[in-house]
Amino acid sequence: MASENDDMGLEMSSITILNKYSNTSESDPFFSSGWDPIVSQSESLGGSSIASHYHLVMENQGISGTSHVSQYQSNPSFVELVPKLTGFDGGNLSQIPGPFSLPQCNQIANSNERGSKNSLRSLDEHRISETLVGTSPNGKIRKRSPESDSPFRSCKNGNEEPGMDLSSEGCDGLREQAGKKPKTEQNLSANSRGKQAAKQDKDSSQSGEAPKENYIHVRARRGQATNSHSLAERLRREKISERMRLLQELVPGCNKITGKAVMLDEIINYVQSLQQQVEFLSMKLATVNPELNLDLDRILSKDILHPQSAAVLGFGPGTNPSHTFSPSTFTGTISGFPNTNPGFPPLPQTVLENEVQNLFQMGFYPGSTMDGFGLDGIH
Partner 1 sequence: MDLQNMNPSSLKSRFATRFLRALTKINAQKPISSSSSREIFQRYRRIKVAADKSMAYSVRSRRSWSRATLWRLRTRSPRSRLATLARRSSVKTRTTRAASHGATVVDRKSHGKENKEDGGVEAEELRELVPGGEAMDLCNLLDETAHYIKCLTTQVQVMRTIANLYSLH
Nearest distance from residue 94's CB to partner 1, in Å? 16
In angstroms, the Cα distances linking 66 to 24, 59, 215 are: 17, 12, 15
Among 1, 10, 198, 268, binds partner 1 (CB under 8 A): 268
- What is the maximum alpha-carbon separation in the chain? 102
Residue 371 binding partner 1, by CB under 8 A: no
CB of 174 within 8 A of CB of 126? no
DSSP string for residues in 159-227? TS-TT-HHHHHHHHHHHHHH---SS------STT-HHHHHHHHHHHH-----SSSSS----PPTTS---
Contacts for 48 with CB less than 8 Å, ≥ 6 apart: 1, 4, 42, 79, 106, 107, 109, 110
Among 20, 126, 183, 239, binds partner 1 (CB under 8 A): 239
Among 9, 102, 315, 372, binds partner 1 (CB under 8 A): 315
Q: Specify the residue, 174 or 351, whose C-beta has the smaller distance to partner 1.
A: 351
Residue 231 binding partner 1, by CB under 8 A: no
Q: Specify the residue, 159 or 319, whose C-beta has the smaller distance to partner 1.
A: 319
Residue 97 binding partner 1, by CB under 8 A: no
Residue 306 binding partner 1, by CB under 8 A: yes
> What distance, in Å, lies between the first and last C-alpha atoms of the chain?
69
CA distance 248 to 228: 30
Contacts for 45 with CB less than 8 Å, ≥ 6 apart: 110, 114
Residue 356 binding partner 1, by CB under 8 A: yes
According to DSSP, the β-strands at 80-81 and 55-56 are parallel
Among 10, 198, 304, 375, binds partner 1 (CB under 8 A): 304
Nearest distance from residue 358's CB to partner 1, in Å? 10
Residue 360 binding partner 1, by CB under 8 A: yes
Binding range to partner 1, per CB under 8 A, among 15-23, 74-82, 112-120, 260-268? 260-268
Q: Specify the residue, 102 or 247, whose C-beta has the smaller distance to partner 1.
A: 247
Residue 10 binding partner 1, by CB under 8 A: no
CA distance 19 to 24: 12
Q: Which 99-138 residues touch partner 1, going by CB under 8 A?
A: 134-138
Q: Quick one: 124 exposed, middle or buried, by C-beta within 10 A (0-12, 13-18, 19+)?
A: buried
CB of 67 within 8 A of CB of 181? yes
Residue 335 binding partner 1, by CB under 8 A: no
State which amino acid sits at residue 267.
Answer: I
Binding range to partner 1, per CB under 8 A, among 56-64, 160-168, 210-218, 262-270? 262-270
Candidates 226, 216, 39, 62; CA nearest to 128 is 62
Nearest distance from residue 69's CB to partner 1, in Å? 32
Candidates 152, 160, 181, 156; CA nearest to 170 is 156
Among 300, 317, 318, 353, binds partner 1 (CB under 8 A): 300
Residue 198 binding partner 1, by CB under 8 A: no
Among 28, 125, 161, 303, binds partner 1 (CB under 8 A): 303
Residues near partner 1 (CB under 8 A): 90, 134-138, 236, 239-240, 243-244, 246-247, 250-251, 260-261, 264-265, 267-268, 270-279, 281-292, 296-297, 300-301, 303-307, 310, 315, 325, 344-345, 347, 349, 351, 356, 359-360, 362-366, 370
